[in-house]
């Protein structure tokens, strides 16, 4: 098995140069972490000069109101987004973000998006149909998010 792994690592340049991850779509936080952790580990290997490539990164159900609610524990958060952007910042040309509950991003996440070198298209959407928030949940969200705070964050995207 060890010999097979060495051969695979030697071929990894060829495979990733052909845009192995042309389009990646993430809908769950656990799936994003299952993808991120091995990628980060392989970047720490001394003989690995290959960075993963992805041209289109789509994040579905991005939860930006603090910790996800108990029933939505598997949603993607801005931390997942930052990790994915850092992995692919040299190759992303299109970024699609679908927000749930609130169209807002922390400044650190916006700065990470700003580090994407060749970003040509940024699509932001808000899916109200998927947002099923009760009045008690709204109070919890309100403690994590001030609607007036989001405007300066999105102005940074234009700068």
For 105-140, how does the pLDDT look when each residue is reduced to its tens digit (9 = 90+)?
A: 999 999 999 999 999 999 999 987 654 544 444 444
pLDDT band of residue 65 (cuts 50, 70, 90) is confident
DSSP H or E run through 81? helix 78-88
Residue 9 has what pLDDT? Answer: 58
Q: Taking the CB of residue 92, how many other CB atoms lie within 10 A of it?
A: 24
Share of the chain above pLDDT 90, in %: 40
């Amino acid at each position: 098995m060890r010999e097979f792994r060495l051969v695979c690592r030697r071929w990894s340049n060829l495979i990733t140069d052909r845009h192995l991850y042309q389009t990646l779509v993430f809908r769950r936080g656990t799936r994003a972490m299952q993808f991120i952790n091995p990628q980060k580990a392989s970047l720490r290997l001394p003989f690995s000069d290959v960075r993963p490539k992805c041209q289109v990164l789509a994040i579905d159900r991005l939860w930006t109101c603090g910790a996800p609610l108990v029933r939505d524990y598997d949603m993607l958060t801005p931390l997942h987004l930052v990790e994915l952007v850092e992995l692919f910042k040299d190759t992303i040309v299109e970024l699609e973000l679908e927000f749930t509950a609130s169209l807002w991003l922390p400044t650190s996440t916006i700065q990470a998006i700003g580090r994407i070198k060749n970003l040509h298209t940024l699509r932001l959407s808000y899916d109200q149909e998927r947002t099923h928030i009760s009045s008690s949940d709204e109070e919890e969200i309100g403690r994590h998010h001030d609607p007036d705070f989001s405007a300066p964050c999105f102005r940074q995207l234009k700068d």
